[in-house]
Amino acid sequence: MQCEGDYFVLVICLSVAIIHAETSCDDCYKFPELFMLGSSTASYQIEGGWNEDGKGVNIWDTLTHDHPELIDDKSNGDIACDSYHKYKEDVQLLKDLGAQFYRFSISWSRILPNGRDNKVNLAGIDYYNRLIDELLANGIEPMVTMYHWDLPQPLQDLGGWPNFILSEYFEDYARVLFTNFGDRVKLWLTFNEPLTFMGGYSSDKDFAPAIKSPGIGDYLAAHTVIYAHSRVYHLYDQLFRTKQRGRVGIALNINWCEPATNSSEDVAACQRYHQFNLGMYAHPIFSTEGDYPAVVKDRIARNSAAQGYTVSRLPLFTPKQVEYIRGTADFLGVNFYTAYYGKAGEAGDSPSMARDTGVITIQDPAWGLSASSWLRVVPWGFRKELNWIAKEYGNPPVFVTENGFSDHGGLNDTGRVHYYTSYLTEMLKAIHEDGCSVIGYAAWSLMDNFEWNRGYTEKFGLYAVDFDDPDRPRTPKESAKLVAEIIRTRQIPERFRED
């Protein structure tokens, strides 16, 4: 591995080298020397300032304003945590945690109000400049997500992600970001969780833009997003990398799938689960052969034919595009929360991605509950998932870009404390005992925030936010103190160890 570049790039590169070299387990509860610990948020969930200083309207503004009934508490992100005004305080929270980096996202419509690059909103550029400078002044490395689901409404009016032209518009947006912030931002994520936001085009979950085209619109969206990602990577290579020396990745979410029985059908079902949910995005970029996974292409083509379609509902990449996309990431961002048991069987309507996947998922009632229906506490799934990724994609550098736990609030958040200690312990096993190249970890989330269709009913924060108070005061929870202790001591405290 060739390690060159500025300090931060060097840190990532060297930490991968060191982790590889650490074969014996001197102290499995310690973080490797160069491992990065921090926390993450997303623009729509925390910023507020939804129509301030020239920001344009995005699809979450539209969904929450036009269809408040789709949000559990009928709330929205108009003000949220008011981070648009309170970013200095947020940086202090990070500083109090001892965070080495902060993962935040940039609101596309704050930078380009209409989505296109002919009109740049200087107030938006200024806001992120101030945030980035404040972070750096406090010794905190910025990690920027370019897209965490808040598509400019004018681009949705053109069809949104199913329209392949958005791959070009996304590259134009990325050029503005690299140009304005790339001198100081060295760690980039193009997209957060394409798997989740392609759901906005299916859509049984009423996720913005709540278009109902399951098994069709969602695949078209995925197709555009993968290509858009690769365009941005090539753009960085061509115009910015030599000078800026940063790294470009993508954040993908995945649940562990544990075969419900050891039958070959259930084992294959969980492999399919991985290929449809993670492989759809990771295989074109991180595998040696590129393109969608064979099982994904085959099953969608077969089902499409049986449904009377002349061509598959999944668009195909040309051989030239396959080559263009392959290898376009410097690291893999992984958002990991929970696990399911998987069984072969029919799920979902026809057509739909669930039906194409052919896996029935269930959670064990014995697994610990959170406040979210989908999230149970399954720490061992984290270790298994990191191993699955290392094996499937040749042990790429993995940055855990999200991991966290929801409750209904309260400062004495013992459930979250247990979640973090147990998940981090399993991650450290994956690193020390299994040799997985995990180089960083971000706790989701720095503070309670707008949890999409769940509104403010589910809390993921290390800091509590009082949403009834116009000042939106933040208060550290027990988990914030724990994370601060972990970052300070760079190990799992003895009182939480298994032996």
Sites of contact with ligand GBH (CB under 6 A) = 42, 45, 192-193, 196, 205, 253, 335, 337, 373-374, 402, 444, 451, 460
Identify which of 80, 81, 84 has the alpha carbon closest to the alpha carbon of residue 64.
80
Q: Closest separation between CB of residue 252 and ligand GBH, Å? A: 10
C-beta of 392 vs 448, nearer to ligand GBH: 448
Cα–Cα distance for residue pair 283/195, rounded to 1 Å: 13
Q: Closest separation between CB of residue 34 and ligand GBH, Å? A: 26
Report whether 382 contacts 423 (CB < 8 A): yes
C-beta of 19 vs 442, nearer to ligand GBH: 442
Q: Closest separation between CB of residue 45 and ligand GBH, Å? A: 6
Cα–Cα distance for residue pair 462/443, rounded to 1 Å: 8
Q: Closest separation between CB of residue 453 and ligand GBH, Å? A: 6
Cα–Cα distance for residue pair 46/86, rounded to 1 Å: 10
- Tell me which residues are annotated as active site: 402
Q: Closest separation between CB of residue 458 and ligand GBH, Å? A: 7
C-beta of 245 vs 384, nearer to ligand GBH: 384
C-beta of 32 vs 199, nearer to ligand GBH: 199
Q: Closest separation between CB of residue 94 and ligand GBH, Å? A: 18
Torsion of CA 9, 12, 17, 20, to 10 degrees: -160
C-beta of 8 vs 460, nearer to ligand GBH: 460
Report whether 179 contacts 246 (CB < 8 A): no
Q: Closest separation between CB of residue 144 and ligand GBH, Å? A: 15
Q: Closest separation between CB of residue 161 and ligand GBH, Å? A: 16
C-beta of 205 vs 497, nearer to ligand GBH: 205
Q: Closest separation between CB of residue 308 and ligand GBH, Å? A: 30
C-beta of 131 vs 195, nearer to ligand GBH: 195
Cα–Cα distance for residue pair 409/394, rounded to 1 Å: 40
Cα–Cα distance for residue pair 71/454, rounded to 1 Å: 6
C-beta of 240 vs 460, nearer to ligand GBH: 460
C-beta of 317 vs 460, nearer to ligand GBH: 460
